[in-house]
A and B are shown apart, each in its own frame.
Chain A
Amino acid sequence: YAPAGLVDGPFPTHYEPHESPFGNPLYASQQSNPARQQIRRPENPYNPTHGEPGVEVFPYVATTYRLTEHHTAGGMSRWLPYLAELQPEMFCEVSPALARERGLEHGGWMTIVTLRAAIEARVMVTDRMTPLTVGSRRLHQVGLPYHWGSRGYAKGDSANDLLGLALDPNVHIGEYKAQTCDVRAGRRPRGPALLALLDDYRRRATQAGVSEPPAKEERP
């Protein structure tokens, strides 16, 4: 019940996420929700979306979800030995096809990259992750539990570091379940090398012609 009414609507419709590899099949001229709240700041760069040059730099889609053993961002469960031992390490679920495509070894390490951050995770190759067929294209998705952080009995990289903030216009919840990304085999670099990796991705995404976000923009 929203006494002041909803900002968007009134009819249900389809919009693509703020970052999407595909065009909106319903509206050629409106890719994503026009009322969505965008936060255009240097700290929140957006991956190129469909229609923007550089979209191929992040060809996969990441989604985030929970595990039974931990609780939300893990602050209250990663410190408990009985829970930490049940799910001790951050992992990323990938399909066997994506593992073959990117040389990911089950039980090994992989790095997931967006313009915001690069995180590492143990590789979980599973048939439960299935490549999607969208139109005539195959899309690989990766699954990221979001319970880990740099401190605790069980430590790991945080999936939330990858997320860009594009918020629902009514309740201002971000699109955490649909982000574009790239994946690579191996652990992520540390220190200055990590920043260099992200700079490389930014260069590749912007060289393709996407303009830099303005330093300050009016928030609706």
Chain B
Amino acid sequence: MTTERVGFFTDTSVCIGCKACEVACKEWNDVPEDGLDFTGHSYDNTGALGASTWRHVAFIEQERDGALRWLMSSDVCKHCTSAACLEVCPTGALFRTEFGTVVVQQDICNGCGYCIPACPYGVIDRREEDGRAHKCTLCYDRLKDDMEPACAKACPTESIQFGPLDELRERAFERLEVLHVAGQSSARLYGQDPEDGVGGQGSIFLLLDEPEVYGLPPDPVSTTRDLGSMWRAAAGAGAALLAGIAVASFGGRR
């Protein structure tokens, strides 16, 4: 890639739960409204990421050391280094852009849905109205014009930060250190490790509790990671079976 890889650093410690990111994303990308449902999950009536929700703000009310804490976090597609959705796509609709992001081309996607179970986070989904798979594009069109994504632009607290991924990773570690020094021992990063199951995420998060609390998988693994060894094991088993048949049919005394 000739351009630097870009991504998000979402610092949930300063998220105020305003949902400007959800609205800005839908406005810019013309994503349809997807359900007037009172979920009862605190102030989160969006529920989860989906074909027509590319930014989802989670609200978690927690009791911590006798005090009430209200965690807020804006979830988004992780644009994984090892993106399973991309690897299983049979049409090539999903591709890696020059910015290192993962985008699904709407004119190529045939709606087969292979990408949907592939994603370890449950991000990508099929939109019923048109049958195709949709997800966050990291505002590919804005990136091409040297602009930041709509959500990052709209975020009033700079909880959503956009930039070169290496720079964001450094900033994330610095911010984590600040929080730890201030006594927030449960603060941690999520998706920053290039050695993790998806090869590191293009969206790094700073969380104030375990990933499960936010509805995130604690140890996500690309679903295609073990495909090679799975096929090798199957081939080995097949070969052993053939060898066994051969021995049974032609070997030894009769």
Question: Residues on A close to B: CB < 8 A?
Answer: 67-69, 81-89, 91, 106-107, 122, 124, 126-128, 153-154
A91 touches which of B34, B38, B70 (Cβ 8 Å): B38
Contacts of B26-60 to chain A: CB distance below 8 A: 26-27, 32-38, 40, 42-43, 45-46
Chain A binding surface SS class: loop
Q: In the complex, are the beta carbons of A86 and B40 less than 8 A apart? A: no
Q: A85-B45, A88-B45, A127-B61 are in contact. Are A122 and B40 (CB under 8 A)?
A: yes
Kindly identify which residue among A68, A85, A127 contacts B33, using a CB–CB cutoff of 8 Å.
A85
**Interface contact B68-A154, CB-CB below 8 Å:** no
In angstroms, Cα B19 to Cα A69, docked, is 8
Shortest CB–CB separation between residue A145 and chain B, in angstroms? Answer: 10
Q: Would B68 and A128 count as touching, CB distance under 8 A?
A: yes
CB of B63 within 8 Å of the partner chain: yes
Secondary structure of the B contact surface, majority rule = loop
Asked if B68 and A83 make an inter-chain contact with CB atoms under 8 angstroms apart, the answer reads no
Known A68-B18, A69-B19, A91-B38; further 8 A-B contacts with Cβ < 8 A = A68-B17, A85-B46, A86-B19, A86-B46, A122-B40, A126-B42, A127-B61, A128-B68
Interface size, B (range): 20 to 34
Chain B positions 2 through 24: 1 when the CB is less than 8 Å from some CB of chain A, otherwise 0:
00000000000000011100110
Seen from chain B, the residues whose Cβ lies within 8 Å of a Cβ on chain A are 17-19, 22-23, 26-27, 32-38, 40, 42-43, 45-46, 61, 63, 68, 70
**List of 7 A-B pairs having minimum Cβ-Cβ separation, nearest first:** A81-B33, A88-B36, A107-B40, A89-B38, A85-B33, A82-B23, A122-B38
* Nearest CB in chain B to that of A126: its residue: B61
Alpha-carbon distance A1/B42, docked complex (angstroms): 41
28 contacts between A and B (CB under 8 A): A67-B43, A68-B17, A68-B18, A68-B19, A82-B23, A82-B27, A84-B33, A84-B36, A85-B33, A85-B36, A85-B45, A86-B23, A87-B45, A88-B45, A89-B36, A89-B38, A91-B38, A107-B38, A107-B40, A122-B38, A126-B42, A126-B61, A127-B61, A127-B63, A127-B68, A128-B68, A153-B36, A154-B36
Complex Cα distance, B36 from A153, in Å, reads 9
Closest to A123 in B: B40
